[in-house]
Amino acid sequence: MSGLITGMGANCSVGADRAATFDALCAGRTGLAPLRGFEPANFRARNAYEIDDRAAPGEDRPLRPTRWLLDAVAEALADAGMAEDLTDIPVVIGTTLRELRSVELNWCDGTPFDPADLHFGTALRRRFRAGRTYTVANACAASLYALGMAADLLDLGEADTVVVAGADTITESTYGMLDRVYHKAPDAVRPFDRDRRGMLQGDGAAAVVLHRSPPPGTRPYARVRGVGVNCDASHPSAPDAESIGRVMRDAHARAGVKPADIDLVLLHGTGTPHNDVAEAQALVDVFAGVETPPRMTAVKSMIGHTAGASGLHSLITAVQSLASGRVPPTLGLADPIEEMAGFRLGSEPVVDPDLSLAQIDSFGFGGLNAVAVVEKVA
């Protein structure tokens, strides 16, 4: 399985494009702020990682994730030196909530919108003449599942070029649901810290352009060496460490690498009590015996959980880290959990010019697990 990454685009609470986002992450800047999109008094938690593109707090508007998606795809195409014409190029989008916030605004406030716009394909056809769009709604692992599907399309000769994207926004109903599941309301995302309280949502979108072989004059950023996916369905929300370990090994096998070859891990790192421990236990098992463990970071500590876009946000961060040697910190990591002892996970940014191979973790409700391995192209 392989695909060359020739273009990237991203936006989130700390940056309007992928370069600004990466610079903010490496500087340890957070997008955490008081809730703007809906009334915070209705919830115990009062913060989120929102994109600040509203006219005023509380003045929400429909179709925001669609706009972020279009911006990310346009940036990725321009970065790849391609025209904005996707007539013959498949687009695979990962999402958790799609345009649920637009439905909420219509139901609660009567804000009008066209039901056809609930499908991202409508806007992609309008803007880019996209003829083949596929939506993968595999919870928070969705955009890495989409990456796996895109790599399969390339490997099977179904396409020479594929655009992979992810987009999600914070919705009032989901925020309220999550607000009720934690013993103490989270005030920030603190992955792998003993004081972690839970997950907070984040806004954003991300996109990459994959080629089976690079077009003339194109210099790829990285190669997707392998994507492993599984679904254990063992519990609606609690992750299974053994299943996570299996998907890591599957990704390594598909990539033709060993754990000792991995230089960097972009952790799923939601800051929830069970998810962090399960991911850490899987890492301990998979990387047992590795003399020098990989560097690790968890960017949700700065941009929140961007759900269906989160896997691609981490992947684009990984690719830029491989290219520059800059590794973002894990913000708020003051007292790491015992399971992470021995791993190179820190609260300060580092520079390591010897990075060449990265692993990206992405896990979702229902035991939906995905791991990708990407390699820097010299």
| CATH classification at residue 291 | 3.40.47.10
Phi, psi of 303 (to 5 degrees): -115, 0
* Burial 43-57, CB ≥16 within 10 A → b, else e: bebebbbbbeeeeeb
- Helix (H), strand (E) at residue 6: strand 3-12
Q: Which of 218, 220, 317 is nearest to 18 (CA)?
A: 317
Q: Report DSSP letters for 299-324, one per residue.
A: THHHH-B-GGGHHHHHHHHHHHHHHH
**130 domain residue, yes or no:** yes
Last residue of a domain, one of 211, 242, 271: 211
Q: Are residues 166 and 270 part of one domain?
A: no
Q: Are residues 309 and 290 part of one domain?
A: yes
Domain total of the chain? 2
Q: Are residues 229 and 194 part of one domain?
A: no
Dig out the tokens for 368 from the structure: 């939906």
Domain that holds residue 87: 3-211
What pLDDT, on a 0 to 100 scale, did the predictor assign at position 366? Answer: 87
Q: 325 — alpha (psi -120 to 50), left (phi > 0) or beta? A: left
- Quick one: 327 exposed, middle or buried, by C-beta within 10 A (0-12, 13-18, 19+)? buried
Residue 275 CA, chain-centre distance (Å), reads 16
Q: Are residues 151 and 281 part of one domain?
A: no
Helices (H), the chain: 18-26, 64-79, 100-109, 120-128, 142-155, 172-179, 241-255, 273-286, 300-303, 310-324
What pLDDT, on a 0 to 100 scale, did the predictor assign at position 22? Answer: 98
Last residue of a domain, one of 186, 211, 236: 211
Last residue of a domain, one of 191, 211, 231: 211
What pLDDT, on a 0 to 100 scale, did the predictor assign at position 105? Answer: 94
Mean pLDDT value across the chain: 95
What pLDDT, on a 0 to 100 scale, did the predictor assign at position 1? Answer: 57
Q: Are residues 197 and 75 part of one domain?
A: yes
**217 domain residue, yes or no:** no
pLDDT tens string 194-247: 999 999 999 999 999 999 998 888 889 999 999 999 999 888 888 899 999 999
Regions of the chain short of the pLDDT cut 50: none
Q: Are residues 185 and 245 part of one domain?
A: no
Phi, psi of 300 (to 5 degrees): -60, -20
What pLDDT, on a 0 to 100 scale, did the predictor assign at position 236? Answer: 82
Q: Are residues 272 and 207 part of one domain?
A: no
**156 domain residue, yes or no:** yes
Q: Which of 222, 282, 223 is nearest to 248 (CA)?
A: 282
pLDDT tens string 5-17: 999 999 999 999 9
What pLDDT, on a 0 to 100 scale, did the predictor assign at position 215? Answer: 86
